[in-house]
Amino acid sequence: MHTSTNDIFTRMLAGETIPFSDPDYPKIMEAVSQTMRIAAQLNTSTNIDEARAYLSEIIGVSIDASTTVFIPFYTNFGRFIQLGKNVFINHDCTFLDLGGITIEDYVMIAPKVSLITESHPLPSQERQALVLGKILIKKNAWIGANATILPGVTIGENSVVAAGSVVTKDVPDNTVVAGVPARVIRVL
């Protein structure tokens, strides 16, 4: 059991490990259920403005009109997603944001990109818990198709993640990374 007196959502953003047995864990499931209801509407949107409005409802703040999100778009929570201006998110992306996702201005995200802020402890006796780590994607970054960004990773300004890469550690500014796990292949 946790000893913190903070709200579970505050503890999540702080990167605290959250056991499924936490007395406040049902609050997460309640929020996820609410997100699922709105996401069903989001993913039947008939235009970009409607999709932006539903995603704004999920996130809890109005998304700038310069930002475009194509459907389908998947998130389990949504409240911890922050989107800058002139962001483009292509079809079929998944943002698991319980640990927090920040996407700065002018970021381009290709189809089927997964931003995963959640994991579980490796020891099997501890695995029934969430281990959370924020993802930050800095200005002008480009995330290629079917790339996966894992918990706790920062993608540097102007950097490129090649298609199909799995990013397990921070990417410096002005670099191109590729592979599984991703490694620097070029400096811009």
Catalytic residue numbers read: 120
* DSSP H or E segment with residue 70: none
Closest-CA residue to 116 (of 81, 155, 151): 151
**Secondary structure of residue 11 in the 3-state scheme:** helix
